[in-house]
Amino acid sequence: MGVEGRSTRPQGAPKRQLRNYLLDRRFQLKYTSMVVGVTLVVASILGAIAYQQSKGQTEALQVQLAMQPDLDARVASDLDAWGRDRDRQILTGIIAGVFAMCLALGMTGIVVTHRLVGPAYKMKMLLRNVQTGHLKVAGSLRKGDELQDVFVAFHDMVNSLRTRQAEEVALLDAALSKAQATGTPEEVLRIFREVRDRMRAELE
């Protein structure tokens, strides 16, 4: 285990805020739109089938009422109105259900993609730090984030680079001491010191 440790558990990690859930708008909205679109199409088809069945039952009821001329007109009218109201309630329920399902899946899609995009975004910043010569992994992934194994592997890689560079700095220090003892010119020693100091700064 390296200098920074390899635990990915959060230690005082900041809480997620709603405005920070869309880290990669293009990817997250594209994925969420696809899920919501497919859900909308499938749910609309199933809802239309259910509504047509309800209307079919209402029409069958109207046929039965028409075949009973001795039935009280008021009762027939009430039954017909009840059938139409039932159709409207079913249609309203289908529309509300489809809307609620799309909304729930849309929010779920944003949350799920955030758990993937968030770690990728953090690792991108850490890679830039390593690219600029800072061999240090600051912070950790939050509980529930994806790519935990990838982050641990990246963490171990950086710690391995730190260990190797620390050993090289120690070798440079030893070489500098020997060079000074053997009377190496100061301008040569200065070059070695600059290299050593730059490598040491990357570990801080």
Residue 7 has pLDDT above 50, yes or no: no
pLDDT-derived band at 96 (thresholds 50, 70, 90) equals: very high
pLDDT: which is higher, 10 or 181: 181
What pLDDT sits at residue 3?
A: 38
| Residue appearing with tokens 């529930």 | 144
| pTM of the shown model | 0.54
pLDDT-derived band at 192 (thresholds 50, 70, 90) equals: confident
Q: Which of 152, 157, 169 is nearest to 204 (CA)?
A: 169
What pLDDT sits at residue 121?
A: 76
d(CA 117, CA 135): 23
* Mean residue pLDDT across the chain: 78
Q: Which of 190, 144, 116 is nearest to 13 (CA)?
A: 144
Residue 8 has pLDDT above 50, yes or no: no
What pLDDT sits at residue 1?
A: 39
CB 86 within 8 A of CB 58: yes
Both tokens of 154, joined, read 């990246």
| Residue appearing with tokens 């200098």 | 3
Both tokens of 60, joined, read 């069958």
Surface-to-core class of residue 9, CB atoms within 10 Å of its CB (0-12 exposed, 13-18 middle, 19+ buried): exposed
What pLDDT sits at residue 14?
A: 46
The pLDDT tens digits of the residues spanning 28-76 come to: 888 888 989 999 999 999 999 988 888 888 888 777 777 777 767 777 7
d(CA 121, CA 136): 17
